[in-house]
Structure 1
Amino acid sequence: MADKMETAVNDTEVAASDLSQKQQSVEEPTTQSGETSVLNVLVQGVALFSDGYNVQVIGYMETVLAKLYPKELTANIKTRLSNSILIGEVLGMLFFGLCIDRFGRRMGIIATTIFLVLGIVLATASHGTSVTGMFWMMIISRGIAGLGAGGEYAVCTAQALESADGDEKLRKKRGFLVAVSTNLAIISGFVGSSIVSVIVIAAYHGKASDGIWRICFGIGCVLPLSIFFFRMRLLDSTQYRKHAIQHKIPYWLALRMYWKPLLGCCSAWFLYDFVVYPFNLLAPTLVKGFSSNQTLLESVGWSALINAFALPGAFFGAFLIEKLGRRQTYAFGWAIVCIFGFAIGGSMIQLQHVFPLFVVLYGLFQSFLSVGPGNCNFLVSSESFPTPLRGHFLGFAAAVGKAGAAIGTTVLSIALNDFDSAIKGQQVIFLIGSGLSVIGTLCVWFLIPNHPDNLEDEDARFRAFLEENGYPTENIGL
């Protein structure tokens, strides 16, 4: 009898030990390997590359469409073409920012890819009983694509950040990795769209054709489809599985704790997109203003060169983030943009006689927009908030930024065309952009917090705040 009792006790202890190990494995998920983390980060970068391509390609195709349909492509239609994907992005950022916190990062990958590819296919096939009808189909289709592209901002940035933080060796390079997989990837997509546009236009011997914009639009769905099945196999990050809040989300408590960094991130991103998107999309128009005899290929080629300046700026800024810190790099980039913008605006009349110098100064203006705010928008807006609400706050800040892009494109397009002299209009928009950069510098310096050394610190601080205010934290995590 004693032996049986001892055996029963031992069995109970073994069962309790097994249960304890299982509970510990749930409460403290295993971290990812360094190779898996890096691969996960890079895959998110490829996805955002495709978003950058699809957003920017319309700027070059508007030059083609203007030659094909000079009467039908009115100023209003042109603005709607530029803004449709931006408006879709705003909705996608808000909606999928909520979804990925509630249902997981992997769900967001599936849904955003479907919307993005569907919109691109419809835009490529745009037609109608009239040219205006064709333009409206294009506008609506690019809006659908924007829903997916906007959702990718929240999905990819959150997944890249949490993957980079999941390995101790990579944690010290987290800022660099996230900057490379977000802003550098998107800028590369911008440059990729210009290279594809130049090649396709050259293939048509520099003559405008419907085939040009249909091919350039259609290429935009190649990358999302090529990596879709690989992304389907990725798991939600360790950090998300450990800290997710899927029910009774404490919005009011979160706003009480994070209103200041949220205000800073939203303000800085709004001002950045208000400046950078119009100057990207209007690059062909600005370049054309220096000469009335430029061919289609020359116009697109010069503007492609100007936008390519942002690429080394994004790469340099990614290194600078780890040396100076997030907020310092953020403010430094904004301050240099102010200097170049005021210099170009103040000397525009003289620069009209030295076109190569204008291209270099314009390119440096674009480059330092990437060095500071371009890189730091994604990083700061994801690091400043806890994992359970990262998608919410990141998506909201990005949506406010894209609202700035839509408003900025409209306002600066009107300002550019509101003067009889093209040079005068260009001068005004550079001065406006530089003035807004001054405000952006101040917002960053006074509202943006220093980043946490690791994401777990911020999650622990948020959990402690919830407990102090009576929120039940026992159900946090999956």
Structure 2
Amino acid sequence: MAVEPVTPTAQPQPEEKTSTVSVNPNQDVEVDNPPQLDYSRLSVVLMVVFSGLAIGSDGFNASIIGNIELIMGKIYPDSLTTEVAARLSNAFMVGMIIGMLGFGYISDKLGRKTGAVLTTTILVVGIALSAGASGLTENGMFWMLIIARGIAGVGAGGEYPVAGAGAAEATDEAPGIRNKRGFIFAMIGDLSSSLGFAFGALVPLLLLLCVHQKVSQYDVAWRVALALGAVPPLSIFWFRYRMAVSTAYRKSSMKHQAIPYWLAVKKYWRPLLGVCGSWFTYNYISYPFGLFSSTIVGRLNPSSSLVASMGWGTLINCFYIPGAFIGGLLSDRIGRRRTMALGFFLQACLGFILGGALGDIQPILPLFIVMYGIFLTLGEIGPGSTIVLTASENFPTAVRGHAVGFAAAWSKAGAAVGTQVFKPIMASWGDDTFHGTQAVFLIGSGFAVLGALLAFFVLPDTDRNLDNGDQDWKDYLAAHGYRNIEWGDGNQPDATGNKMM
């Protein structure tokens, strides 16, 4: 029999299912939900909206480098070698991995609010350095840009454990919102990121048109494009500084306790393996196919101008968007695991068709664009709309930031590997653009099959009530001798149940 953990003072903990509210000096009434629910709902909505903006900003800053490299290729044809382009693409990803791991710890031990403020600050500093990159030589300028992109990546990567854990806990404050968490998280983690990818392709294109496609003005275009990435994080900084602390974190965090990591791994190894593997596979496919969409179109239609190739690439990136709505609705109806497996499987099927029948599809460019776009849409219906939520729901509050950050780091490792091998695969075929493009579709589809198997057979179905997961973790630790744990952040909820703003 598991023993309920107690505080160091050995005082029994109050029941967590109800709260007592003083109605008048002579009467106490027990209620199932704390009062001031409208205010709580407003705070939840704000948390969701600004978490979405934060992750959308990361999508923009990650994806914009694809079209920036196309612009730079016209300005610095000798300095922007394949190796330098790969470093530019991967610098942000490597920074994100560092940020995800570091802020996974920070968000659990120092709090979601502290993590949010730090990630925003680091991201803005990195973007400012990127936009102002300079050097005595072109190579020197590129090295500064690579380092600055890495710094921005640290801030962007920290958003995933901070925003993911914080938004999951915010949506748990009200049962009516909790039941729609799948759709809400599809908007936060997928739609916002997809919009970021779309704007990451659209903004450089619009700036090129603004400078009338004059190569002498391309330097201004790419610098302004990078600088615009600072607008969303700056616009939400004040809110994040004033953000509320969730009830779950105040009750069930281990802020002042050493976390027994071995027991956490022992208990949650299966969902951790499933989430890490699925997220790695998803980003291995999604990132390079989104980043280099303009490159693929340019190779298949070499007569296109730079603006035309970027325009087609922008259109392709817009196909990410509908997948979020479809996947969000499905995840609340058939579950996160089944939705993810279904999306992976359908994406694999279409990818094999594209790769196998590319000879017949390639000459009809609009048909290729539509099928390419649907290929990306299916990825968003499955893992894109569910993976952040799956990572957040599978773990208790005390280690949620750690787990989301660790899984997200694996995802960016997948993105970095996919980005690193994508161009060399195409380049290995030389002038044979047909076989190079065919190869990346077939390889990507093979990874989608792996993702479907991981999602369906390894990932468990999640409990949508985070309190149940927290209590299960507390009972598990008590059963293993951890009975004197100071749960929470030392700032327990008051009689109203909330300390908002």
TM-score normalized with structure 2 length? 0.89
Instruction: Evaluate the alpha carbon distance shift between residue 257 and residue 400 of structure 1 in structure 2; reply closer, same or farther with a 3 A threshold.
Output: same
Look up the equivalent residue of 2:165 and give its one-letter code: A
**Equivalences for residues 440-451 of structure 1 within 5 A:** 440-451=451-462
How far 1:315 moved relative to its partner? 1.7
Using the alignment, how far apart are the partners of 1:284 and 1:376 within structure 2? 27
Which has the higher relative contact order, 1 or 2, with Cα contacts under 8 A spaced 6 or more apart?
2
Look up the equivalent residue of 2:60 and give its one-letter code: Y
Q: Aligned Cα RMSD in Å?
A: 1.8
Look up the equivalent residue of 1:464 and give its one-letter code: D
Alignment match, 2:310 = 300
Check the 8 A contact 1:463/1:473 in 2, yes or no: no
Check the 8 A contact 1:29/1:241 in 2, yes or no: no
Using the alignment, how far apart are the partners of 1:156 and 1:429 within structure 2? 32
Alignment match, 2:482 = 471
Alignment match, 2:3 = none
Alignment match, 1:436 = 447
Check the 8 A contact 1:206/1:296 in 2, yes or no: no
How far 1:320 moved relative to its partner? 1.3
How far 1:151 moved relative to its partner? 0.1
Alignment match, 1:188 = 195
Partner of residue 300 from structure 2, selected from 285, 290, 295: 290
Using the alignment, how far apart are the partners of 1:314 and 1:323 within structure 2? 14
What whole-Å deviation, never above 9, does each CA across 1:321-357 have from its counterpart, x for those lacking one?
1111100100010011001100110111222211111
How far 1:49 moved relative to its partner? 1.2
Partner of residue 266 from structure 1, selected from 272, 276, 280: 276
Alignment match, 1:341 = 351
Alignment match, 1:118 = 125
Matched, 1:240 2:249: yes
Using the alignment, how far apart are the partners of 2:147 and 2:356 within structure 1? 39
**Equivalences for residues 75-474 of structure 1 within 5 A:** 75-208=82-215, 209-246=218-255, 247-420=257-430, 421-474=432-485
User: Which consecutive unaligned segments of at least 5 residues does structure 1 have?
Assistant: 1-18
Using the alignment, how far apart are the partners of 2:224 and 2:340 within structure 1? 37
Number of residue pairs aligned between Structure 1 and Structure 2: 457
Matched, 1:50 2:57: yes
How far 1:112 moved relative to its partner? 0.4
Using the alignment, how far apart are the partners of 1:57 and 1:237 within structure 2? 33
Using the alignment, how far apart are the partners of 1:174 and 1:20 within structure 2? 28
Using the alignment, how far apart are the partners of 1:428 and 1:402 within structure 2? 22
Alignment match, 2:71 = 64
SS at match of 2:301: coil
Using the alignment, how far apart are the partners of 2:253 and 2:116 within structure 1? 17
Alignment match, 2:28 = none
Check the 8 A contact 2:393/2:464 in 1, yes or no: no
Instruction: Evaluate the alpha carbon distance shift between residue 84 and residue 128 of structure 1 in structure 2; reply closer, same or farther with a 3 A threshold.
Output: same
Matched, 1:35 2:46: no
How far 1:453 moved relative to its partner? 2.8
Check the 8 A contact 1:44/1:181 in 2, yes or no: yes
How far 1:206 moved relative to its partner? 2.5
Check the 8 A contact 1:164/1:178 in 2, yes or no: no
Instruction: Evaluate the alpha carbon distance shift between residue 339 and residue 207 of structure 1 in structure 2; reply closer, same or farther with a 3 A threshold.
Output: farther
Look up the equivalent residue of 1:370 and give its one-letter code: E
Q: Which 4+ stretches in 1 moved above 2 angstroms?
A: 28-32
Alignment match, 1:5 = none
What whole-Å deviation, never above 9, does each CA across 1:62-113 have from its counterpart, x for those lacking one?
1101111111110000000000000000000000001110010000011101
How far 1:29 moved relative to its partner? 11
Using the alignment, how far apart are the partners of 2:272 and 2:301 within structure 1? 44
Percent of aligned positions with the same letter in both sequences? 42
Alignment match, 1:14 = none
Using the alignment, how far apart are the partners of 1:294 and 1:440 within structure 2? 35
SS at match of 1:456: helix
SS at match of 1:293: coil
How far 1:291 moved relative to its partner? 2.1
How far 1:297 moved relative to its partner? 1.0
Look up the equivalent residue of 2:50 and give its one-letter code: V
Look up the equivalent residue of 2:247 and give its one-letter code: T
What whole-Å deviation, never above 9, does each CA across 1:339-386 have from its counterpart, x for those lacking one?
110011011122221111110000000001111011111010110000
What whole-Å deviation, never above 9, does each CA across 1:248-276 have from its counterpart, x for those lacking one?
11111111100011001000011111111
Check the 8 A contact 2:323/2:385 in 1, yes or no: no
Using the alignment, how far apart are the partners of 2:33 and 2:84 within structure 1? 52
How far 1:447 moved relative to its partner? 0.9
Check the 8 A contact 2:185/2:386 in 1, yes or no: no
Check the 8 A contact 2:126/2:148 in 1, yes or no: yes
Using the alignment, how far apart are the partners of 1:273 and 1:325 within structure 2? 21
How far 1:473 moved relative to its partner? 4.7
How far 1:406 moved relative to its partner? 0.6
Check the 8 A contact 2:275/2:407 in 1, yes or no: yes
Instruction: Evaluate the alpha carbon distance shift between residue 467 and residue 20 of structure 1 in structure 2; reply closer, same or farther with a 3 A threshold.
Output: closer
User: Which consecutive unaligned segments of at least 5 residues does structure 2 have?
Assistant: 1-12, 21-31, 490-501
SS at match of 1:129: coil
SS at match of 1:33: helix
